[in-house]
Amino acid sequence: MGVRVVVTMTTAAAAACCLLLLQLFVGCVAVAAALPTKGGGAGGDDYLRYKDPKQPLNRRIDDLLRRMTLAEKIGQMSQIERENATADVVNKYLIGSVLSGGGSVPAKNAPPEAWVKMVNGMQSGALSTRLGIPIIYGIDAVHGHGNVYKATIFPHNIGLGCTRDPELAQRIGAAVALEVRATGIPYVFAPCVAVCRDPRWGRCYESFSEHPGVVRNMTSIISGFQGEIPAPASGGRPGAPYVAGGQRNVAACSKHYVGDGGTTKGVNEGNTVASFHELMAVHMPPYYNAVIRGVSTVMVSFSSWNGVKMHANHFLVTDHLKNRLRFRGFIISDWQGLDRITTPDHADYLLSIKLGILAGVDMVMIPYTYTEFIDDLTLLVQNGTIPMSRIDDAVRRILRVKFTMGLFDNPYADTSLVGELGKQEHRDLAREAVRKSLVLLKNGKPGAKPLLPLPKKLSYGGRVLVAGSHADDLGSQCGGWTITWQGLTGNNLTAGTTILDGIRRAVAPGTDVVYSENPDAGFVQKNKARFDYAVVVVGEPPYAETFGDNLNLTIPAPGPDIIRNVCGSIKCVVVLVSGRPLVVEPFMDIIDALVAAWLPGTEGQGVSDVLFGDYGFTGKLSRTWFRSVDQLPMNVGDAHYDPLFPFGFGLQTQPSTY
């Protein structure tokens, strides 16, 4: 027989007990819904297939996409600036991506641990949303992790193009990826694959070359960033985004699509006047290679093609890139790129959003006005102006990249890679890149012996004059996109070695290296007999984008006077630090040797390595060196081609034996 136990309790106690049981029941249901079924079997709506890493990629994407509301989809299409992106903002507005603009940092001289903490804080806001879709954090890393204090700064692309070394570019991409990952960031707005056809353009140093073939070869840097895409027989799919497993690679971004290097007079964000054939032959080829390499994203250019803004160009963005080239990653706007579809900017924002999204832009860089963008895009979808199919295409592409790079499975960064930032192996690689990027344009006056390589050891100790504004200026030799957007002059912005430092380390003990930033004619005449030779280092100040547009391309003052004062009296080598060729013909008769050093970055010792013959000069011009700006634009293959130094020119030397 059974035993019956009767328990009596107060009404209040009974109510409390019922409430506790109800809470336990609801909690168990929530936990069960968040867990995939064992073995990855198909369950009902409670089975979150998108959270199961064992599921095929497209099934995860389909499962997540069908669960998303319009607000969640538009949130994924929104990329906002770091300074606005608190965890609460990311959570409230369901933000899909965050970026650091040039110079946007968690704190001045912030260590990598501070970056990791910042990114993870934002990620926590994303993961606490209903669906827990992680953000993708992006940053410009156009010649190293340039925003970050003590990162390795590599030569800008114009110098890398002179190396003609795709394997070197790939190694640089892998090193930069590690330094970016050291700060918890998984996505870089690089490489720029523009084909610069006019050096008056302020972004010309971001271009590997005027020749599309050179730029195509240097897209190997994408495989450095992302990892080498497997062959089709091993599962690789050209056109699909690819990022190698683990957390040592980053998603890359080819930019700026397309024709940004061909604008009239090199005006930044200007108009490229070209036939379809010219556009395809000159500016499009690097994108073919980028897509084949599995590039994850493509950034649209501010510029126009024959008067049509690229951000509103459905034919080139959707018909050509997405459909014809079968690019399967996502397309991102440039900074406030949709705003600039109208003139003036933001004059008709609803129209701008309509044109940009219908053209095929998937993620919109809206650093500040993100609430306006979200509200307006929502309205355009709700009133039928933009079909849901276009929104779904955008979100599907964004999710594909996030799943492919492992963000859903490893959303949080850690500090295990902080030692990669600025490590010696990366600095050695940058120094190698500097050596290989230098182009020797002149070596000795007619009838005289070559000046280079310079002797390290001089009789009776010897004395060397080093002059010029750029000899002892780390900021100037790094150029734009270094610590700040426009770059900085001076030696207190980050860690590195100036060209003067390199010279002092190269010469034999006992050699007197005299540095004078701006020696006047009187100083030189008084002391010329004391110097065995001089190294004059002059060039451009740092700049980026429109601030670098320049119609005269002369060496900035006091550079010309320094060249005349020093080289008119002392045997001299001029080292030109610049983002492009400059007017040098007026000085060619008085100088003994001329070296194009471009923008070498933090490892200035790479310059002295070659000046003093530890290594030979091997660099070849990646672009034509004009005589006069009146000749511009002038590129190899033009009918009227009369350069001072032609494309591919570069004298070679052999290493010295001391």
DSSP conformational letter for 456: S
- CA 369 to CA 299: how far, in whole Å? 19
Closest CA to 189 of 116, 126, 102: 102
Q: Encoding tokens for residue 97?
A: 């991506």
- Whether 167 is catalytic is no
Phi, psi (5° rounding) for residue 195?
Answer: -105, 95
Instruction: Compute the distance between CA of residue 552 and CA of residue 291 in angstroms, rounded to an integer.
Output: 37
For CA atoms 445, 450, 453, 455, give the dihedral sign: negative
Instruction: Say how far apart CA 302 and CA 290 lie, in whole Å.
Output: 20
Active-site position among 206, 362, 540, 545: 545
Could you confirm whether 545 is annotated as catalytic? yes
| Sign, CA torsion 394/395/398/400 | negative
Q: Which amino acid is at 486?
A: Q
Strand partners, 645: 625
Residues 6+ apart with CB under 8 A from 96: 75, 76, 77, 78, 79, 126, 133, 135, 136, 363, 398
Give 19: exposed, middle or buried? Use CB within 10 Å, 0-12, 13-18, 19+: exposed
Q: CB–CB of 577/599 below 8 Å?
A: yes
DSSP notation for 470-500 = TTT-HHHHH-SSBSBSS---SSSSS--B-HH
- Are 518 and 467 within 8 A, CB to CB? yes
Amino acid at 404: T
Neighbouring CB atoms inside 10 A of 648's CB total 15
φ and ψ at 230, to 5 degrees? -65, 155
User: In angstroms, rounded to a whole number, what is the distance separating the alpha carbons of residues 295 and 282?
Assistant: 20
Query: What are the DSSP calls for 212-262, one per residue?
Result: HHHHHHHTHHHHHHH-PPPPGGGT--TTS----SSSS--B-EEEEETTGGG
Given the residues 52, 334, 362, 592, the one annotated as active site: 334
Q: Other C-beta atoms within 10 Å of 458: how many? A: 17
Whether the CB-CB separation of 257 and 320 falls below 8 Å is answered with no
SS3 203: coil
Distance between CA atoms of residues 513 and 535, nearest Å: 10
How many CA atoms, within 13 angstroms, populate the side-chain half-sphere of residue 453?
25
Helix/strand/coil for 155 = coil
Active site residues: 334, 545
